[in-house]
Structure 1
């Protein structure tokens, strides 16, 4: 079986163990996200009641994580969602759905990574004020630095997966030190009166909690994104039937606990009005508790953490177009592996370029755009895929089966639907337009290749005919 060998799918090597898989997920999830977005969330929900946004966001992503866990354990290949949609929807719509996923993934994965770059430069501004303007926003020099940082990430990823897992584990350690340091600093100067100073009438009908919930949840779920990174690396994971579900579920629960501790601690150390206006809230909290020297040290750790999140995200994302290209559903160059390192080169380079370009845009614009795109083609489609596969492929070996099925599907569907509704109108328009253009591109490709709807459907059921899923 694939789990018992070092050789994975089509030349990829199974070198990622359970600890490394969980570390990759948590490094990608945390990154600079909470350090950057806690002020946005407090401002959106107009007070400390923002802490409940993390809990509701965690419920949504945990429900979605159970979907990833079942699909990933049964079909542990490179590309994650691409494989799940290919296997589920081949019976009715041929290769349309996996094509649309790759089409959108090449956009939304770099968008996620670009937020890490933006956050890195924003915190770098504490140490080097020349890279930000008077409001704390990234200026032209900062954008140049962001592009250079993206280039360094790509260079570091240009090596064998075995070497990369060691680097990722080290980055995970830095991430834990940075977030735990901020938490300890905040609680050493903690005031419960500040932390729980809810806005009067916040939870009443039409109060600040309810009016700001949509915007707050967009931020919260964005901060949790990355819990599925190990599934994108399924062909490089040892014993994926056990490792993938555990890495996904443990990373979500662990990060939720850290986020809650961090949010409550900061609100207990700094008045929420000051938190809402801060562009580097972690530094502000540490400065308040321990002084500017400690604040600068923590800022350095946060910059490294932001770098680590971009590193982990591009590592997983670069594998997505690789699987599609192997299926002759994407440009052939994306199917090529490095002759010595055995990693996809084109996906890494292209996504690196898009990440650099996206880092030039404002953070709020990027978060809304990536949320809208993810909901349309990945999140809702995977919910349907799990249902279809349970009906179409009942004999598929499933090392992990979702708890309380189908309740998590309903929770995830309602949550993603509310998030899409809460995105700004421009993001909705752009996400729909991107999908329409993707459908047109698919039809052009399908006509040239003479496949559905211009030819016969090709039903493979790859994971029913191999022992890979038994891993």
Structure 2
């Protein structure tokens, strides 16, 4: 085994567990009342359905690219391959790593902040104590991830079981209550298909989509997946289908006990739901399980993101220090420690409500829209045999994904969009300064001569 090479040790079960634990973090428990409040009616379930549909369509894009280019770094490699290794792909892949160095710690910090927020149900925390709690969560995650990938796969399986048991208990509680189908029967009560509904659906979908993010996490670990051409697409579709069903059932279960009019203003809606069903002791237990789920999500997300700067550095497109692997554990420890350190700082500085929209606004243009368009360009110039997985009805899902992501981007709000675009613009400036100093594209004569019009 080469000293600086990742090892394929993760199977389908591990891949699915990593995706699902990333998806079901603190997100659905804290965004459930947010979504209800934005929709302000029993039709809030449509926002969760919209998030599932977008995720499923976008997963087709990820599946084609993940199966064709199963390497560490995910979108870094996808953007480089789709826009040309010696041309525009250099800029696009650099911008992805650039935004990842900001956005990834934001994702990790959001879960840690959410953890501290929900912990307040067990023990009320002051503002300072909440910051100490969120920072401690990040530190614990880094300690757990500082080990070999096969050990991490086993830890992921244990955490995955905890996630499933938590959701099953919540759903089972609603079923046992005896009024489970009521929210579904009344889902269209007072519903009018007009601009107000569409606008509300867009704003609410920002929160529901946030709770689905992570279905592609395994693509960042492409270099460590066994039989990636099959297991990467399968793990994503299984994850989305499973989580969509669990989210819908959980929402129905909660509002079958706590009316949506009350649930939309609750800070601990699932804990209150369980307290009403089974008493205060049961509410404390479910809160502890929710905290385990939140912790699991930070674990899975940090694992995937730590491979992105490593992949770029190993490819010579980022600072060399990030390409270092641990001498005995064979994992990118420098990348892990850096992202964890920035996430620790973010967890002390930001509020959760701001972080959720910022995460989406920053990553949509480069990671989702540009990646989907890049696949369309790549499919035009390469034969279908180059793609082990091929989406049905190509290119319709690609265009649908782009349209829906544009809608989500707009729904994050003007200031978030402006902030995301500003970060990209700054990244473009940094890239051109770096490219000019290193005589890379577009300042390299060889690269210019190699540029193929078919790439654009």
**Aligned CA distance change for structure 1 residues 393 and 43 (closer, same or farther; 3 Å):** same
Conserved 8 A contact 2:66-2:232:
yes
Does the alignment pair 1:452 with 2:441?
yes
Give the Cα–Cα distance (whole angstroms) in 1 for the partners of residues 203 and 156 of structure 2: 31
- Unaligned 5+ residue runs, structure 2? 451-456
2:64 counterpart (48, 62, 70): 70
Conserved 8 A contact 2:110-2:355:
yes
Give the Cα–Cα distance (whole angstroms) in 2 for the partners of residues 397 and 194 of structure 1: 46
Aligned to 1:241: 229
Q: Residues 285-319 of structure 1: CA distance to partner in whole angstroms, max 9, x if unpaired?
A: 11111111111111111111100000000000000
TM-score by length of 2: 0.94
Does the alignment pair 1:308 with 2:300?
no
Aligned to 2:102: 107
Q: How does 1:35-74 map to 2 (within 5 A)?
A: 35-74=29-68
Does the alignment pair 1:440 with 2:405?
no
**Residue 57 of structure 1, CA deviation:** 1.2
User: RMSD over aligned Cα, in angstroms?
Assistant: 1.9
Aligned to 1:400: 389
Aligned to 2:334: 346
Give the Cα–Cα distance (whole angstroms) in 2 for the partners of residues 206 and 69 of structure 1: 34
**Aligned CA distance change for structure 1 residues 48 and 356 (closer, same or farther; 3 Å):** farther
**Aligned CA distance change for structure 1 residues 457 and 354 (closer, same or farther; 3 Å):** farther
Does the alignment pair 1:426 with 2:420?
no
**Residue 354 of structure 1, CA deviation:** 2.2
**Residue 228 of structure 1, CA deviation:** 0.5
**Aligned CA distance change for structure 1 residues 194 and 233 (closer, same or farther; 3 Å):** closer
Aligned to 1:291: 279
Give the Cα–Cα distance (whole angstroms) in 2 for the partners of residues 203 and 180 of structure 1: 33
> Which sits farther off after the overlay, 427-436 or 192-201?
192-201
Aligned to 2:121: 126
Q: How does 1:149-298 map to 2 (within 5 A)?
A: 149-191=137-179, 192-193=181-182, 197=186, 201-207=190-196, 209-298=197-286
Give the Cα–Cα distance (whole angstroms) in 2 for the partners of residues 269 and 457 of structure 1: 67
**Aligned CA distance change for structure 1 residues 226 and 323 (closer, same or farther; 3 Å):** same
Give the Cα–Cα distance (whole angstroms) in 2 for the partners of residues 350 and 105 of structure 1: 12
Q: Residues 340-396 of structure 1: CA distance to partner in whole angstroms, max 9, x if unpaired?
A: 011111211111122223323122211111111111111011111111221233276
> Which sits farther off after the overlay, 93-102 or 162-171?
93-102
Q: Residues 9-37 of structure 1: CA distance to partner in whole angstroms, max 9, x if unpaired?
A: 95101110000000000000011211111
2:135 counterpart (147, 150, 174): 147
Conserved 8 A contact 1:229-1:313:
yes
Aligned to 1:87: 81
Conserved 8 A contact 1:336-1:344:
yes
Conserved 8 A contact 2:46-2:201:
no
Conserved 8 A contact 1:451-1:457:
no
Give the Cα–Cα distance (whole angstroms) in 2 for the partners of residues 230 and 94 of structure 1: 22
Give the Cα–Cα distance (whole angstroms) in 2 for the partners of residues 437 and 313 of structure 1: 25
**Aligned CA distance change for structure 1 residues 198 and 72 (closer, same or farther; 3 Å):** closer
Helix, strand or coil at the partner of 2:386: coil
Does the alignment pair 1:390 with 2:385?
no
Aligned to 2:309: 321
- Unaligned 5+ residue runs, structure 1? 1-6, 132-138, 462-471
**Residue 162 of structure 1, CA deviation:** 0.6
**Residue 456 of structure 1, CA deviation:** 3.4
Q: Residues 264-303 of structure 1: CA distance to partner in whole angstroms, max 9, x if unpaired?
A: 1111110112111111111111111111111111111111
Give the Cα–Cα distance (whole angstroms) in 2 for the partners of residues 149 and 217 of structure 1: 28
Q: How does 1:21-36 map to 2 (within 5 A)?
A: 21-36=15-30
Helix, strand or coil at the partner of 1:188: helix
Give the Cα–Cα distance (whole angstroms) in 1 for the partners of residues 148 and 182 of structure 2: 51
Aligned to 1:4: none
Helix, strand or coil at the partner of 2:70: coil
Give the Cα–Cα distance (whole angstroms) in 2 for the partners of residues 307 and 328 of structure 1: 33
Helix, strand or coil at the partner of 1:127: coil
Conserved 8 A contact 1:266-1:285:
yes
Aligned to 1:469: none
TM-score by length of 1: 0.91
**Aligned CA distance change for structure 1 residues 378 and 283 (closer, same or farther; 3 Å):** same
Helix, strand or coil at the partner of 2:8: coil
Aligned length: 446
Give the Cα–Cα distance (whole angstroms) in 1 for the partners of residues 138 and 191 of structure 2: 41
> Which sits farther off after the overlay, 86-95 or 28-37?
86-95
Helix, strand or coil at the partner of 1:203: coil
Give the Cα–Cα distance (whole angstroms) in 1 for the partners of residues 231 and 21 of structure 2: 17
